[in-house]
């Protein structure tokens, strides 16, 4: 999979993720989050996290080459399998406990987070391999 975004989108994606992680507690401390608007802020936070993950996944690397594309493809494949197992485990958990009320609605966000983790791990692993092959 080829990268679609410029190099500066990768750090921007991490910045968006950090903002998304801390915006809800900060808004709560300021008294802006209530029972009436909690769902709205929660869903907006999920959207911010999705946007940050997509910025990271589709951003060019500094030394983009065929190997980076291979790592990106491998990360997507691994993220699909990890997401499947994570969602399946959640389904089993709800079946075992007889929970018919709760439903998992963040499967795509889970996939994106697994994808970013697999991509970063693959890129760092390749960097270490290149350093020790010299």
- DSSP code string of 50-84: HHHHHHHHHBPPTT--HHHHHHHHHHHHHHHHHHH
Domain hosting 38: range is 9-133
Q: Is residue 85 part of a domain?
A: yes
- CA distances 94 to 17, 88, 98, 99, 102, Å, are 29, 10, 6, 5, 8
Q: Is residue 50 part of a domain?
A: yes
Distance CA 8, CA 16 (A): 13
Which tens digit of pLDDT belongs to each residue from 82-94?
999 988 888 888 8
Domain count, the chain: 1
What's the alpha-carbon Rg for the chain, to the nearest Å?
18
| Residue 95 belongs to a domain | yes
Which pTM does this prediction carry? 0.80
**pLDDT tens, position by position, 10-32:** 999 999 999 999 999 999 999 99
Q: Is residue 39 part of a domain?
A: yes
pLDDT (tens place) for every residue of the chain, 134 residues total: 777 889 899 999 999 999 999 999 999 999 999 999 998 999 999 999 999 999 998 888 887 788 888 888 899 899 999 999 988 888 888 889 888 777 777 888 889 999 999 999 998 998 898 888 86
Write down the pLDDT at residue 16.
95
**Per the structure block, which two tokens stand in for 3?**
């990268």
Query: Is residue 4 assigned to a domain?
Result: no
Q: Give domain status of residue 19, yes or no.
A: yes
SS3 category, 5 = strand
Is 1 within the bounds of a domain?
Answer: no
Q: Does residue 99 lie in a domain region?
A: yes
């Amino acid at each position: 999979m080829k990268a679609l975004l410029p190099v500066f989108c990768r750090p921007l994606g991490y910045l968006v993720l950090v903002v998304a992680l801390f915006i809800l507690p900060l808004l709560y401390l300021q008294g802006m989050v209530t029972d009436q608007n909690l769902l709205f802020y929660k869903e907006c936070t999920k959207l911010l996290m999705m946007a940050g993950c997509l910025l990271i996944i589709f951003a060019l690397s500094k030394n983009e080459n065929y190997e980076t594309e291979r790592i990106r493809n491998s990360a997507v494949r691994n993220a699909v399998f990890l997401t499947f197992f994570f969602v399946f485990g959640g389904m089993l958990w709800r079946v075992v406990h007889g929970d018919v009320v709760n439903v998992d609605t963040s499967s795509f966000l889970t996939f994106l987070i697994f994808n970013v983790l697999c991509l970063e791990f693959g890129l760092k692993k390749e960097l270490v391999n290149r350093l020790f092959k010299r």
